[in-house]
Every structure is written in C-alpha cells, then in structure tokens.
C-alpha cells in the first residue's frame, strides 16, 4: 500500500501531465529554495497564529486564569509532540520503503492507510479550514457592528448579517484568483497588522488592569474543562503545514528544535494575551476581547486592522479546501463555480453562529482534536508498530484515546454553549 514508482519518460517524447489519481500528492516540489532556520521559525509562527488568540481572554474568564494557562501550555506541548510524530512517520516511510512523494498530511494518510487515510485527512482539513473562515466572518461582522452600529438595524437588517453579506461579493473576487502569488503582499501586510494589533491590545490591557483591578478567578471548575480545551486546540491548529515546512527546511536535523522554539514563543504570547485580557476586564470580558475597548480612536483602529487582516487571510485559508475539492471533483482543474459555492456555504454557516469563542471551541474540540492528536498518533503507531516499546506504544494509544474522548466531550460541551446562547 503506498505510492507507485513512475516510469521515466522516453528521450524523444514530451512528458504529458498525468491525470490526477488518489496517489497523486496534493503538494509538489517546484525547485523552491530551502528555508533557513529563521525563515522556518517565521513560517511556523505565521501558520499557527490566527484568530484563535482573540478568544483566549474570554476562555480564561470561563476556565480561570491559572487553569487556562495550564491548559494552554499542556495543549502546546502535546501539539508539538504530535507534529513531530508526523515528521518521524514520514522519515521512516521514506527511509524504509522508498516513498518520495509524501509532501502533505493527506499524502501521509494515503501512504499509511491507502485511500481511506487520505479521505479522512482531506475531510478534516476541509472542515477545519472552512471552520477557521467561518470564525473570521463572525469576528469581522461582530467587530464592525460594535464599532459603527452597535444594536441599530441597517436597512432593516441585523448588523452582523449586513456585514457578512457585504463581505460576500469581495470574497468572491478574492477567492476567484487561481494563484495565491498575487495575494502574498497582502498576506504579509495582514500579518504585520496582526502582530501590531496584538501588541497594542496587550499594552492597553496592562493600563486598564492597573486602573480597575477587577476580581479574578483562578480556577473555573471542571464543567468548563472541555470548552477551554477546544479553544486552546483551535488556537494551536496548524498541523497540516508541518510536513510542507519540514520539506522546505534547509537543515532538517534541526527542524524539531526550531519548531519547538517557535511553539514555545507562541505559547508565551498566547498565555500573556489571554491572561492580560482577562486581568483587564474580569467578568466583563467579551468573547472578542477587542470589543471591550469601546469606541476610542486607537481601539477602533486596532479592531479595523484585525478585520482587514482576517479579510485578506480568508482566501489563503480556503486554498487547501479548494485543492481538495477541485482535486476530487474537478480533476484538479480550477473551477470558479465550486469556489463561489464554498464561499456561499461558509458565509451561510457564519450567519447561524452567534458567539465567536463558542465556535472556536466547537471547531477545536471536534475536527482539530482528531486532526491534531488522533491521526498523528494513530499513523505513528501503525508505521512503528514493530519497533515501539511498551512505553512508546502506551503513549500513542493514550493520545488516540484521550483525543477521541476530548473530541466527543468537547463537541457536546460546545454545542450546549451555542444552543444555550440561542435559547
């Protein structure tokens, strides 16, 4: 079970691009220069840091700040461990069986489990990436409504609904671009805005905390454990990019160290952002922390900047969805109607979800738990089954079991929160 070796083309015939098959890798190598350790560090940071950070202060309000920090660092450590399991699994397959086309998570799923493995990975990547984009639209709509309209109707329409549909035609245009090359400058601009906004929010949090010093709770109880865990898993989701990033690393022997340093830095930033946000507003902390700052010029600029960031990140995050769907249903050819239908579907789901942080928890608990924990441990266990000792085997089994339990329990907990809000 695995990739077949292709026969070399004859010297007098032009190579004809093959029709994509189940064993055709989603990502190919095109002679791109390899990344230095610094660039690898930056790429890991960009791949992981996203909108999930904005829901951490609200999560800390529910879980308590001590419990939230412990949960956040634990999820970071486990995520790093599972990322390295994927790297080790690919290296073993390439060393022992001569695989040369394992360029993505889906390719690894096919190499280990055949078509079922690829379908499982592809389905979860589609759900998780689309889920990220749903959360982006929720954030943009709720933030703009808070800044400009608050509770007033716009043309007789709810502000959130108005802003989501206002984004729709522009997203159709951005998502119609066949290549992401033209979006690269916008992506860099959006990342700079994101970092600047996070820095400004943290400084504002410190100033507000020193003035108000609200009552804080260290532990929120076990009932919110799975809810907080879902948000933390969502915040660190980026496992689908690990294998491509490792492939592009110049010094692969030090990739694990660079990945670990990047995860540690992100963990500290996340912990500081979540704790400071909760420290500043206490029980008044809202699901999107930036809406706590009112309508001052600085806070409005920060919120609009974050909206711009997520607006231009939307087509980048949808790209893996298009790769999978067009590969399966359009023979890997560009199809604008499929892309527009997917954007419409994501927009429709965003209209139905009332709370930003609740949706983060739902996506993190369900899809991201399986994608980030269960599948890496399962693939590692299947490939290394002849060499694992009891301790290593026990670790993999424990991660699979715990990941499954957390996925089921967290999904249930998140759905209860969402329906409670609707009620």
Number of structural domains in the chain: 1
Q: Is residue 335 domain-resident? A: yes
Q: Is residue 32 domain-resident? A: no
Q: What is the pLDDT of residues 269-302, one digit of tens each?
A: 999 999 999 999 988 888 778 778 777 777 787 7
331 φ/ψ angles, rounded to the nearest 5 degrees: 55, 40
136 or 11, greater pLDDT: 136
CATH number of the CATH domain containing 108: 1.20.1740.10
Instruction: Report how far residue 122's alpha carbon sits from residue 415's, in angstroms, rounded to the nearest whole number.
Output: 24
pTM for the predicted model, two decimal places: 0.77
Are the beta carbons of 238 and 47 closer than 8 angstroms? yes
Parent domain of 306: 37-422
Are the beta carbons of 271 and 69 closer than 8 angstroms? yes
Q: Is residue 44 domain-resident? A: yes
Q: Is residue 71 domain-resident? A: yes
Q: Is residue 77 domain-resident? A: yes
Q: What is the pLDDT of residues 11-20, one digit of tens each?
A: 333 343 344 4
Q: Taking Cα atoms as reference points, which of 181, 214, 179, 238 lies closest to residue 371?
A: 238
Q: Is residue 13 domain-resident? A: no
Q: Is residue 30 domain-resident? A: no
User: In which residue are the tokens 């026969």 written?
Assistant: 7
Q: Is residue 14 domain-resident? A: no
Residues paired with residue 154 on neighbouring β-strands, in sequence order: 157
Instruction: Report how far residue 141's alpha carbon sits from residue 303's, in angstroms, rounded to the nearest whole number.
Output: 11
Q: What is the pLDDT of residues 85-133, one digit of tens each?
A: 999 999 888 887 666 678 788 888 888 888 898 898 988 888 888 888 8
């Amino acid at each position: 079970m695995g990739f077949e070796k292709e026969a070399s083309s004859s010297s007098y015939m032009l190579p004809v691009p093959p029709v994509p098959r189940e064993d055709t890798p989603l990502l190919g190598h095109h002679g791109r220069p390899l990344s230095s350790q610094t660039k690898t560090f930056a790429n890991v940071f960009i791949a992981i840091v996203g909108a999930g950070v904005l829901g951490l202060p609200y999560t800390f309000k529910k879980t308590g700040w001590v419990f939230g920090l412990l949960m956040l660092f634990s999820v970071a450590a486990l995520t790093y461990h599972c990322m390295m399991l994927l790297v080790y699994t690919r290296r073993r397959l390439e060393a022992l069986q001569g695989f040369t086309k394992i360029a993505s998570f889906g390719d690894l799923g096919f190499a280990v489990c055949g078509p079922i493995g690829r379908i499982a990975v592809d389905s979860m990547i589609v759900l998780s990436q689309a889920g990220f984009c749903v959360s982006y639209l929720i954030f943009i709509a709720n933030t703009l409504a808070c800044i400009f309209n608050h509770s007033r109707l716009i043309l007789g329409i709810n502000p959130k609904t108005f802003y989501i549909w206002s984004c729709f035609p522009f997203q159709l245009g951005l998502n119609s671009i066949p290549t992401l090359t033209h979006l690269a400058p916008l992506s860099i601009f959006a990342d700079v805005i994101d970092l600047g906004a996070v820095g400004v929010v943290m400084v504002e949090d410190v100033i507000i905390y020193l003035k108000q010093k609200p009552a804080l709770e260290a532990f929120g109880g076990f009932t919110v454990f799975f809810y907080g865990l879902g948000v933390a898993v969502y915040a660190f989701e980026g496992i689908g990019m690990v294998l491509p990033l490792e492939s592009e690393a110049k010094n692969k022997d030090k990739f694990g160290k660079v990945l670990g340093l990047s995860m540690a830095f992100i963990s500290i930033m996340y912990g500081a952002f979540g704790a400071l946000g909760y420290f500043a507003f206490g029980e008044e902390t809202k699901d999107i922390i930036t809406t706590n700052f009112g309508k001052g010029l600085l806070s409005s600029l920060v919120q609009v900047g974050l909206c711009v960031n997520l607006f231009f990140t939307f087509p980048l995050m949808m790209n893996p969805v298009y790769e999978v769907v067009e590969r399966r249903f359009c023979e890997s050819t560009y199809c604008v109607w499929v892309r527009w239908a997917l954007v419409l579907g994501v927009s429709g789901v965003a209209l139905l979800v009332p709370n930003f942080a609740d949706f983060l928890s739902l996506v993190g608990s369900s899809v991201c738990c399986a994608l980030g924990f269960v599948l890496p441990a399962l693939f590692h266990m299947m490939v290394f089954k002849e060499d694992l000792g009891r301790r290593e085997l026990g670790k993999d089994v424990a991660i699979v079991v715990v990941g499954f339990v957390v996925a089921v329990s967290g999904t249930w907990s998140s759905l209860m929160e969402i329906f409670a809000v609707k009620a």
